[in-house]
Structure 1
């Protein structure tokens, strides 16, 4: 046999475990990656093909993600922002490109309030998932111009000022991302 880290010219083994033990004792590096291994199985008298399987444990490090609101714009009673999801290979925020198969779920939680006179509000909260995948192979993804808050109301005459704005309907939106066990991403602040 020629194999291992290239130091053995011929070697006989009794069993698979002895073979793995020999290979694992080799010293490998970038400049000395080893050589292809060729082996025969002496117990096959007819030289028929042998099906051999190997198991590879490939460690897939987690992706760190951060959800950020940027470019917040207020126009009258409406506030919008770009919702950005940044991808990092480390907690120290080293940019990385995530695999397109990873599905990131952002929860969009909307709280709507309704009042007939602006004093007592009744609130209803709903949550909708937004699923993102990094098909563009970027270091971040953007949901542009997403709503953050909105106020509706009426103008009523009050006091010295000709009119006062009284809010009768509100809408507040929060965006959150939760960790995923399936896709191995960790949320950081």
Structure 2
């Protein structure tokens, strides 16, 4: 089995698990874990977008490293490809990736946002970040969220956000599977 086949299987399996986990977490009203799942799915998506913008030879090396559990290294360097680099690339293409990624990171790493049962995490965010998250939900997920919406108002959107990310991820995986190489503008 090729490294690409293994990689595609891994990503798709992870995505299916995220969708199942989101349903269970939503039923249990575990909002912090829901955000963590969103962040993990977004991690898969930004990696696949990064791969799609690499030439086929470079892509093959990165996929093989991933399958072997090795870090992705910069071309002709021992420095690693950073999450920041991949998120910045995705942000330039998607326009919303950075705010969701950063918000999700705050739930993966212990932060003040984990006190969401007693203090609204949205209030703790810088105004622009809060605005970006709420605007994204309104635009892409049909939300009627106002600019003063609370974290509790946002939680019901998490399953829809995950579904949107998962659907985008799947279309990128198909492109990867078909050997497409995309310029940043095409992704």
Is TM (by shorter chain) over 0.5? no
- Answer with 1 or 2: which has the greater Rg: 1
TM (norm. structure 2) is 0.21
User: Larger strand proportion, structure 1 or 2?
Assistant: 1
User: Larger helix proportion, structure 1 or 2?
Assistant: 2
Using CA pairs under 8 Å that are at least 6 residues apart, name the structure with larger relative contact order, 1 or 2: 2
